[in-house]
Structure 1
C-alpha cells in the first residue's frame, strides 16, 4: 500500500514513516499543505494521513481540494486533543476518520487497516475467501485453518490483490502501491513474490489463487464470502 503523510512536525512525521515502514508500506512525506496537495494530486494513493494544523495550506482546505478533484482514497486526519470543532470540520470536508494526538502506534495501525478494508468493501478485519483467511488486524494468514508464514512483502502483495479480487492488477500498479520509490521497477521481484505466494498457498494450483493475465498483470480469483464483504 502507498500512503501519503502530510505532517509538519518532523518527529511525528518520522514516527509515522517508521511505523509504516515496519509494516512494509510505501510512504510519501510532505511537511506542509501545499506540498501535500501536489503529491495528493500527482499520485493515486491507497490512503492519506493529514494533520489539520499545517503551514501554507491548512489540512481542511487540503482535504476539500482533494475531494473536489475526485481523489477518493481514504483520508485519516490528525487533530489536537480536545479540538472537536476541527474534527467535525475535517470530516465535513471529506475525511473518513480522525485520530487525536498524541496517539499509540497500535491505534494508528488499526485505523489504517480499517480504512483500507472499508475502501474495498470489507467491514471486518477478517476476510474469508473460501479456505483462505486473511486477518488484517493480526496480519495473519490461514489456509484450511492452518497458519501460513509469509514475509511482510508477500503478505502486502497478497492483501492488495485480495482487496482487488476479480480485477486485473498490473505489475506497475503493484510496484507503485506496495514498494518505495527506489524499488527497482525493472526487476523480477514482483514475479518472485507471486511465485512464493503460489508455492505457499496453492502449490498444486487447485485453488487457481492468482492467475497471470499475459501482458496485463495478475488477478486474485477467490471470491470473498458474504460475512467478510
Structure 2
C-alpha cells in the first residue's frame, strides 16, 4: 500500500516546468500528497477525483487564468482554501485577485519555508512534518529539482550567481541611498528570482524582508549579512 495515499491532497497548478518543480520540491516536507497540473483542464480533472485540502493556483495559465480556474473549481467545492501565486507585484493586481476570491496571494519567487508555512495552516495539525524545517544557506534539494535533477547545472548557476551578487547588492544599496525605491524593488525582485533557482533560501528571506520594508536599517543589515555569508569562501 502506498503510504502517501492516506495523506491529505494539495493541488499545485503552475505551467512553467522549472517553477512547478521548484514549488513542488518546497512542499515535500509537508505531510501531504502534492498533485501537479500545468493548466486548467489538468487541474479540473484532478479536482474531480476528490477534495483537496488547498489549491495553489498560478495567476496566469496557458489555457486561462487563475481566477477563471478558481471559478470552475468552486463549482466542485465551495470551501477549499485557494492560494494564488504570482510574480506580478502590482498592488492593483493583487487586490483584484483577492476580490476574485483567493484567500491568500503569494508572491513569486517565494522562499520554501514561507510557502510551506502558507500551506501548512490548512493541513491537519496533528500530522508532523516529513523532515525538519531548518533555514538553509543553500537548499541543494530544491535547487536540483528546480533544474530537473541536473546538479551540474546548479553548480554552474551558483557560480554565476555569486559572481554577480556583489554588483546586485551595490545596485540595491545605491537605489536605496538615492531614494529610488521602485528601482530597488525591481533589483530585489530579480535577486529573489535568482535565489530561487540556486537554492539560496536564507538570502531569499532577507531579500523579501527588505523589499517589504526598504527603509528598515535592520532589514538592510540582515540582507548584507546574508550576502556576506554566501560570499565567504
TM-score calculated relative to the size of structure 2: 0.48
Say which structure is richer in helix: 2
- After TM superposition, the score normalised by the length of structure 1 is 0.48
